[in-house]
Structure 1
Amino acid sequence: MQSFGKPARGERLERLHDLPLWDGERLHNIHPVLPGLRDASASKPTLRDFVCGGPDRTPSAPLPADDPRSAWLKPPASGLRATWLGHSTVLLEIDGWRVLTDPVWGQRASPFALLGPKRFQPVPVSLRELPPIDAVVISHDHYDHLDYPTIRALAKSDVPFVTSLGVGAHLEAWGIAPSRITELSWWQTHRVPGTGLAITAAPSQHFSGRGLKDRNLTLWSSLVMQGERHSVFFSGDTGLTDEYETIRERLGPFDLVMLEVGAFHPSWGDIHLGPANALKAHEMLGGGVLMPVHWGTFALSTHAWDEPVETLLTLADPQRAHLLLPQLGQATEPAERRPATPWWRSDERTARKRAVQPDPAEAADADRLAGAVPWPLD
């Protein structure tokens, strides 16, 4: 069960205790929940609901994907390029430097090898096929953002990690040397040695934990990556909060805004954006090209797998939000402002939409292990 990680201790724990979010026992969101975000009458889906599935929760065929390796051989003409590799994993090229966000190559967003949300779309490239990375950023410790097998593989490299306070305990337990780990509290900035990169942690409205006993014992953050000429905002996981206005004032403007749009549900509308609130957050952040993340890889709620991006495409006003919707593995420069196209649609998928067919053993395990992990998973 090494994938559960390790708790913060010593100086790391003392730093957590000093945060304004610490209530004496654990961290909590201190910003008031905006009205209407959470439906108190809506029942949360159970772990069995997730395992047994619902209509259209996975695509019926693999999604189209590009091989970005040839594109990575040439620097971006504009100085800024993003390659979406699935879920919240993006390779950013910023003014000559490369940042990898929330890298997840594992097969399940779960501590269990045979239970939990399973990847329905492979990563377009393997970890060993990535170009040299100057920094890995990790927003928080949930399984679909902090992935044990991926970290174990990255431990063999010398890439530095920048993450939220407390998450370093997991990284150290999985083989990352302490000298390679920088943990940030909100509004702290780290300048990556030997580069022109500055990485700042900023507020988000979420939670943390990888097991029943460690709920909210590590920090969750959004992150801003700045080069000499370009700036990128990455939401991590979050609900809508007017702290985005403060982020804009202190760290904006942004050339690219990456916001989570998937895994939303009325019962937890305060801790995830969903497409409608992502557009509101984008406006609060001052605009910039909007690239949706946190979709297209895992079924982490009860909505259809493509509902987040379909709704976003319907609601977005092109005069107020330019959408960047690259297909998997497509290396794209925000400055090009390519038209948004629904590349994920196909006649075959429309004809073959289906419900997830549960494995009976998985369904039984879901009932047995429902109390073993924090809920919701993400």
Structure 2
Amino acid sequence: MTQVATKKYRLAYLSPEPNREGHASYTHVHEIVRHLRDIGWQVDLFCPDYEQSRLPGALSRVAGIARSLTLIIFRRQPDIYYMRWHFAAWPLALWAKIGGVPTVVEVNGPIDDLFIAWPHTRRFKAFFSWLMKSQLNWSDAVVAVTPGLVSLSKKICGEEKFVSLIPNGANTDVFSPEAAKEVNGLTEILPRRFLIFFGTMARWQGIRTILEAIEEPAWPAGMHVVFAGDGEDREFVEMAAERLDHVHYYGRVPYQTLATIVARATGALVCPENLEGRAVTGLAPLKLFESLSSGVPVIATNQPFQAELIREENCGIVIEPGQPEVLANAVSKLVESEDQRLKWSENARRVVVQSHSWLARAKDTDSVLQAVLSFKAT
């Protein structure tokens, strides 16, 4: 049974990623913080804000992270620090170690994610790796979002390290089949039948493969694709939308509005590719859980964790990554049997409501925090 906080403990939460609605990190952070507060925690959130409509550049990010670090370090000392694993969180990890404040580090991806996103950092790979590994070694507990990341954390810290598996989740009230009944400016212009991709448009998300699949002969006639999000592959989506009538780009869509679009989709595309080993430790993308919570079947690539979930719960189709023709055939399979699609839809909603809500994730996080505080008190 989950232990609920009996004292209003103070938690300082650091997220070095941009605090921008529409990004997976934004949703994860704010949902966990919201539910921890509901459980009884006093949570102070520190994350950089940016005014740009597009993703901030390197200098803007450095300045934003520096402001967040300054605020959290010089704020009243909390009972415990919680930080997302990021090389820039190192000063807080050191500060907590010096001050004897317990810390929990949340691992959302391997160290190599940094070198994929920012290739110039590879020149200082040893240094950045040390910054990140030392955070885990100094921590009192680690939270990892996939089994592969649990193994990675233990490989860095040793088998004795307290590491818990707590994947992403979904807001089952917002992302619900019922959201399809809501009307707004975007829902009024949606095509009748469409698949959806939403989230960060990074190279490894398989967007280019999706765009190639759309032009394959096997792609079903009349099936559109809606893209919502932003990132480095945005330009490819915009060019396709200008050229093809059945490709639509809506940019970054507000959280509540996004749910009304997802719920209307015939299926969701969760097609990451193992770019430079990105998927080796497993993937539990936010879009996966939000799509399933909406009762929308998912076409997912055969990557650890996400493929296992789809297969075990029978809520979509698993395909090999990076193969446009295979993806086009999967889309045909998705639409050819209404009975099968409805079964996938029912299974999708059920599994998230039962096991993958953000409230459940927050309760799991509360258990880790309580265990760390109990251990430090002895």
Is TM-score (shorter-chain normalized) higher than 0.5? no
TM-score by length of 1: 0.30
TM-score by length of 2: 0.30
Bigger CA radius of gyration = 2
Higher percent of residues as helix: 2
Between 1 and 2, higher relative CO (CA 8 Å, sep ≥ 6) is seen in: 1
